[in-house]
Amino acid sequence: MSRESDDPKIPAPLSDDLKDTLAAALIEDEDEDLEDLALGEDYALTPEFVAMVVDAADRADAERLRELLDALHPADVADLMGFLSPDYREAVLAHANPESLAEILSELDTEIREDVLAAVAPATLAKVLGELDSDDAADVVDDLEADMRAQVLAAMPEVERVAIETSLAYQDETAGRLMQREVVAAPQFWTVGQTIDHVRKDGEELPELFFDIYVVDPSFRPVGAVPVSLLLRSRRDTPLAQIMEPVTEIAVDLDQEEVAYIFDKYHLISAPVVERGGRLVGQITVDDIVGVIHEESEEDILALAGVSDAGRNAGVVEMIRSRLPWLMVNTLTASLAASVIGAFQDEIEKLVVLAVLYPIVASLGGNAGTQSLAVAVRALANRELSAINAMRTIARELSAGLLNGVALASVTGAVLWLMFRDVGLSFVFGAALVINLVVAALAGALVPLLLDRVGRDPAVSSTVFVSFVTDFTGFFAFLGLAALILL
């Protein structure tokens, strides 16, 4: 990225050889420049580069398009597609070279991929998919329409087709779908030398990249792993059994969130996947897990905000579909909570300042509840909150809620007294605030714990529940106390 393009001063008479070399260097410089131009300081595509692509597509300048695409990593081409309209996508991708196309396809977002795939011939696609590891290929095939899928699979070699079909047979978001079937396995009694020879000889069938060699027993059950770097530095006559390290096996039907948790906790680079009997059936590598961790925490953010993932390129219809249902639920709960206010209409008519104050009590309760909720959801995801410390956590939340409530009540009570010189009003407001903050702390911690206990995702639907509780409590505590004390 930071190599300077050193302005080459060319001496007068040049040999033909030297001329070629210099010409090549100049072309390389141009490439280098395009690469520098493509990505900004934040490693995102620059608007200038996207404009250049659009311009070249408008002029149908095939050579320029190829040049521009060649300057990009497949992941950046996939990003580029996200910034283009469907017409441009097709026009641009037509110029990607076949080797990159496989990578680009596997990097694309699902909704764009569906579009793009519809425009590729089945035979081309079958060939392109052969370049990918079985998990990535299965991912792409999964996005194909049924008849297109049949055609593509039919055009693939037997071995690849079976690998993809097996992968697709596992449930979505499980270890089986994440894993690649290509692994390097070696029997316990092999030496380092035998293993290295095997890798050199049978390279074709092995994964392109691998980080661990799994040592298996005669029933193909993993009994240990040897990191490639350890293999490399050990003497050829060392038995694998002597240098192997314990492995953490992943059950093939394990949820991907659990898999990600295990990788994160034990700092794994790769792990063997086993079927029910313990037989090795594939491996998961950490680069797939990075994506899962990312996805799962995004799901939590969105779930807490009450929106299901519509994808970056969702149209307005999908956006509405991902948001309106929660807004409808919220209309119901908000109305239910507000109906409490209806019960106190007489009091509000008598003392209309109440109408200004109860939204504040409800709002602060809502905020405090959201805080407890976010902390609890995060602790549950990290397995930091469980039966062992649930009671202690709730007790701490209650104390913090109480003390925060008292602090806020003192400040706001004093301000209200300065404004209205009415001790009763200050007291009612403060007391309602304390009650609501304690309830908020309790609800914020309890709701996700209970959802988790009954096997539900603690992030989904907890916000709407907690804010109903804090709205209701805020209105009821404040207006109820006001009715008792002030009127």
- Residue ranges in 95-154 that form contacts with a second copy under rule CB under 8 A: none
Tokens of 441: 């702390």
Between residues 168 and 252, which has the closer beta carbon with respect to a second copy? Answer: 252
Q: In the complex, what is the shortest distance from the CB of residue 371 to a second copy, in angstroms, rounded to a whole number?
A: 4
Q: What is the CA 226 to chain-centroid distance, rounded? A: 30
Residue 167 CB, shortest distance to a second copy, in Å, is: 18
Q: Taking CB under 8 A as the criterion, which residues in 350-379 touch a second copy?
A: 352-353, 355-360, 362-364, 367-368, 370-371, 373-375, 377-379
Task: Out of 18, 62, 407, 487, point to the residue binding a second copy (CB under 8 A).
Answer: 407
Minimum distance of a second copy from residue 21's CB (angstroms): 17
Q: Residue 153 or 184: which CB sits closer to a second copy?
A: 184
Closest approach of a second copy to the CB of residue 16, in Å = 25
Smaller CB separation from a second copy, 124 or 345? 345
* 241 interacts with a second copy by CB under 8 A: no
Residue closer to a second copy by CB (options 242, 345) is: 345
Here the tokens at position 186 are 């070696």
| Amino acid identity at 347 | E
- Per CB under 8 A, the list member of 22, 118, 159, 320 interacting with a second copy is 320
The H-or-E segment that residue 70 falls in is helix 62-70
Q: Binding string to a second copy for residues 257 to 296, with x set by CB under 8 A, is what? A: -x--xxxxxxxxx--------x-------xx-xxx-xx--
Beta carbon of residue 115, minimum distance to a second copy (angstroms, whole number): 17
Q: Which amino acid does the sequence have at 137?
A: A
Closest approach of a second copy to the CB of residue 145, in Å:
26
Q: Which is nearer to a second copy, 6 or 158 (CB)?
A: 6
Considering the complex, state which of residue 124 and residue 229 has its C-beta at the smaller distance from a second copy: 229
- Rounded to the nearest whole angstrom, what is the least distance from the CB of residue 382 to a second copy in the complex? 7
* Residues in contact with a second copy, shown as a per-residue x/- string from 11 to 30 under the rule CB under 8 A: --------------------
Interface residue with a second copy, options 10, 328, 391, 454 (CB under 8 A):
328
The tokens for 88 are 């441009």
Question: Pick from 180, 404, 426, 462: which binds a second copy (CB under 8 A)?
Answer: 404
Cβ closest to a second copy, residue 152 vs residue 284: 284
Q: Does 300 bind a second copy (CB under 8 A)?
A: yes
From 88-96, 162-170, 298-306, 420-428, span contacting a second copy (CB under 8 A): 298-306
**Strands of 222-227's sheet in order across:** 185-187, 212-216, 222-227
By beta-carbon proximity to a second copy, the closer residue of 190 and 211 is 211
Under the binding rule (CB under 8 A), the answer on residue 230 touching a second copy is yes
Counting contacts by CB under 8 A, is residue 43 touching a second copy? yes
Q: What is the dihedral of CA 309, 315, 319, 324, to 10 degrees?
A: -140
Q: Which two tokens stand for residue 170?
A: 């596992």
- Looking at the DSSP assignment, which residues form a beta bridge with residue 215? 186, 224
Q: What share of the chain is helix, strand, coil (3-state, %, to 5)?
A: 65, 5, 25
Q: Does 242 bind a second copy (CB under 8 A)?
A: no
Question: Which is nearer to a second copy, 120 or 340 (by Cβ)?
Answer: 340
The stretch near a second copy (CB under 8 A) out of 13-21, 92-100, 174-182, 225-233 is 225-233
Nearest to 402 by CA among 369, 439, 371, 427: 439
Segment 416-475, which members bind a second copy (CB under 8 A)? 467, 471, 475
Residue 253 near residue 175, CB atoms below 8 Å:
yes
The token pair that represents 80 in the structure block: 């580029």
Token representation of residue 304: 């807490």
Long-range contact set of residues 345-350: C-beta below 8 Å, sequence gap at least 24: 347/479, 347/482, 347/483, 347/487, 348/479, 350/487
- Our CB check for a second copy shows the closer of 106 and 126 to be 106
Q: Which segment (11-19, 20-28, 161-169, 405-413) binds a second copy by CB under 8 A?
A: 405-413
Report, in Å, the least distance between residue 399 CB and a second copy: 5
Of residues 150 and 324, the one with the C-beta less far from a second copy: 324
Q: Tokens standing for 309? A: 């993932």
Q: Which is nearer to a second copy, 155 or 417 (CB)?
A: 417
CB < 8 Å & 24+ apart, contacts of 192-197: 192/231, 192/234, 192/235, 192/236, 192/237, 192/238, 192/239, 192/240, 192/243, 193/236, 193/237, 195/226, 195/231, 195/240, 196/231, 196/236
Q: If binding is defined by CB under 8 A, does position 400 make contact with a second copy?
A: yes
Residue 377 or 469: the one with the smaller Cβ distance to a second copy is: 377
Cα(260)–Cα(262) distance, rounded to whole angstroms? 5
Q: How far apart are CA 330 and CA 186, in angstroms?
A: 57
Region 180-219 residues binding a second copy, contact defined as CB under 8 A:
196, 199-200, 203, 206, 209-211
Neighbour order of strands in the sheet with 250-251: 250-251, 270-274, 280-285
> How far apart are alpha carbons 235 and 191 in whole angstroms?
9
Q: CB neighbours of 219 closer than 8 A, spacing ≥ 6?
A: 277, 278, 279
- Distance, in Å, from the CA atom of 469 to the CA atom of 14, rounded to the nearest integer, reads 83
